[in-house]
Chain A
């Protein structure tokens, strides 16, 4: 088993969740790679420029990684809080455009700043784990934690408020939901997830540069959610895992692999317009388990 691929898949799943969180509120934000890049840059800078974090052992201490995560979360959280107030006044495609602008601004700033290494980026990032398996275990724990939080979010009050805004913002507001704050919460949570993921990715990739958080990444991460489904947290996780793994798994196909990959992305939304994983899928699954096979088999809706 190649733990390196598993790690990339898990990072994909985390980024999928980051795009999914604002979508829970019906907000199409493409800012995820921007916050991802902030997290990665914070980790790259701290781990290569601050000797105090390096520790005395042969590997980079995990506590330092956690500290970088805390700092990245703080930075992305504050930025998302300030920015979200402004950009979340926009809706739909206008919000998408504004968040693309954010990603571009961050990319150009990174390219032009001396201390982020310009286009070459920062390399020689120290390793907290000896092998990819260590990264995979760490990221798995992180993913499980965030999945649990997302699962909670589907059931608690702010989460239900988000779902209400997604279904009808005006109706939600008339029910006394503070739509501005709820949307902001989802945006900030999304930024936190992306920022923390960036920290892990920077260590895992050994080097960091502005290309890793560009517009292409916005589209790729959006594809995770569109493909997997945006109604439950399982959708983006599934989409992230599968779509990250697919180009690698298709290697035996040879030169055609990217064409096949593109076809899969195209066919997914065509046959599963709501994404592969939907709440209905769970319901039919549950029915089948509970022993009403006839109803499910005949496709009778209760």
Chain B
């Protein structure tokens, strides 16, 4: 019987090795330019974060078309491979490894901060530049030299909307805070909101906790309304946040509402409809920014969306940030190629030089002018506070930039 154990183990191991061998690895040798300059993206196209990934995919593809339309990397086209990183850590890790094994020069993604905490160290160990387009948690660029992001962290953005709410209505005295306690984004951002409120002398009168998949918020809202708040601050995702706003208004709340980055998407319009009107949000991107880079981007986005009359022709922040991530990599590659031609350059050396080039540049993007700190944190000039203005039917609306 011992033979059976040994033989079954051996069979299993060879089967496992054969299965995992289906994915090849090529870290050595020169950059493979046969199909173009290879760049990868790992986005959450499935799972509960898939709406974010879909928004990002549009941005990256628009940016790719713009870059290749303008000659790619000094005449060589960029070739992009997008992989689904799912909405969990193991799937993101697998997708990142897969992309790196393909011999890509730089990687965009993953979508969620938690995924970056898990997959970022892989890119760091393998020496592959990773530009995160949507991670807002503290500590992402600190993962290592090769990790950077174009998404400003929430500690920079979130307090702006509180300040704006107080500017619009200096009489605000009692703030109520809501957040989803099982969501990483939500718990991280609410800390920043609460600090910002306290700094303004508005210690929250109540902090209500919800769950990401909740539909009904009656009990939390009733508890909060008993405290007679005149400002409600939400750190919630689009779905639960939209529902909560709707129920909040239906239960008679008339005061100001400030929301966080999770609701920074036109996807909230169909959820809270007319009740979305008037909510305040701080943004890292405004479609109303009048710069050539942003006008090119919004025009390209509107043209791409024209095929589907149901969707908004105004780009959301996630799309703009993903566009920016691709643009940063494309421009850095072009500069690198002029300095050290990519052809014949060893892959590992090219990746390292590209990282230095990414960090060294200044970029005119849809987000405005951006640069990076030596650590890889984005330095962005403009931030915005917008107010949602819903159209008469309550079906569509826009983020209207506040002066």
Partner among A5, A107, A118, A238 whose Cβ is within 8 Å of the Cβ of B97: A5
* B184–A209 CB distance below 8 A: yes
- Any chain B CB within 8 A of the CB of A280? no
Whether, in the assembled complex, A221 has its beta carbon less than 8 Å from a beta carbon of chain B, the answer is no
Contact yes or no, B118 A4, CB < 8 A: no
A contact residues around B187 at 8 Å (CB): 118-120
Which residues of chain A are within 8 angstroms of B89 by Cβ–Cβ distance? 205, 207, 209, 211-212
Report if B25 contacts A (CB, 8 A).
yes
* A242–B20 alpha-carbon span in the complex (Å): 10
Q: In whole angstroms, how far apart are the Cα atoms of A127 and B93 in the complex?
A: 15
Known: A206-B118, A207-B89, A207-B118. A10 touches B16 (CB 8 A): yes
| CB pair A1 B21 closer than 8 Å | yes
Which positions 146-193 of chain B face chain A at CB distance < 8 Å?
Answer: 180-184, 186-188
Q: How far does the alpha carbon of A2 sit from the alpha carbon of B94 in the complex, in Å?
A: 9
The stretch of A92-100, A147-155, A265-273 that contacts the partner chain: A147-155
B337 to chain A, nearest CB (A): 29
Interface residues on chain B, size class: 35 or more
Q: Is the CB of A147 within 8 A of B9?
A: yes
Question: Judging by beta carbons under 8 Å apart, are B184 and A2 in contact?
Answer: no
Q: Does B122 contact A (CB under 8 A)?
A: yes
Q: Contacts of A248 on B, CB cut-off 8 Å? A: 23, 94, 98
A8 proximal to B (CB < 8 A): yes
Give the chain A neighbours of B90 by CB distance below 8 A. 8, 205
With A131-B125, A206-B118 already in contact, the answer to whether A119 and B19 are too (CB < 8 A) is no
B377 at the interface (CB under 8 A from A): no
Q: Mark out the residues of chain B between 1 and 27 whose CB falls within 8 Å of any chain A CB in the assembled complex.
A: 1, 4-5, 8-9, 12-13, 15-17, 19-25
Q: Is the CB of A9 within 8 A of B16?
A: yes
Q: Which residue of B is nearest A209, CB measured?
A: B114
Tell me the complex Cα distance, A28–B361, Å.
58
A241 touches B12 (CB 8 A): yes
Contact indicator B125/A3 (Cβ below 8 Å): no
A186 to chain B, nearest CB (A): 20
Chain A residues touching B, range: 35 or more
Instruction: Give the secondary structure class of A's interface.
Output: helix
Q: Is A249 an interface residue (CB 8 A)?
A: yes
Asked if B184 and A121 make an inter-chain contact with CB atoms under 8 angstroms apart, the answer reads yes
Whether the Cβ atoms of A148 and B125 lie closer than 8 Å is: no
Given A120-B184, A205-B89, A251-B98, A241 contacting B5 (CB threshold 8 A): no
Q: B45 → chain A, closest Cβ, in Å?
A: 8
Contact with B along A252-288 (1 / 0, CB 8 A): 0001011000000000000000000000001000000
Interface contact B5-A148, CB-CB below 8 Å: yes
Interface residues of A in 207-236 (CB under 8 A from B): 207, 209-212, 234
- Contact yes or no, B91 A247, CB < 8 A: yes
- Docked complex: A128-182 residues within 8 A CB-CB of B: 130-132, 140, 144, 147-148, 151, 155
Closest 10 CB pairs of A and B: A123-B117, A207-B117, A6-B20, A1-B21, A2-B23, A4-B97, A206-B121, A120-B184, A119-B187, A5-B20
Interface residues of B (CB under 8 A from A): 1, 4-5, 8-9, 12-13, 15-17, 19-25, 45-46, 83-84, 88-91, 93-94, 97-98, 101, 113-114, 117-122, 125, 137, 139, 143, 180-184, 186-188
CB within 8 Å of B: which residues of A?
1-6, 8-10, 107, 111-112, 118-121, 123-124, 127, 130-132, 140, 144, 147-148, 151, 155, 205-207, 209-212, 234, 237-238, 241-242, 245, 247-249, 251, 255, 257-258, 282
A-B contact pairs, 19 of them (CB 8 A): A1-B23, A2-B101, A3-B20, A6-B17, A111-B181, A119-B180, A119-B182, A119-B183, A120-B137, A123-B139, A127-B121, A127-B125, A147-B5, A206-B119, A207-B89, A209-B89, A248-B94, A251-B83, A255-B45
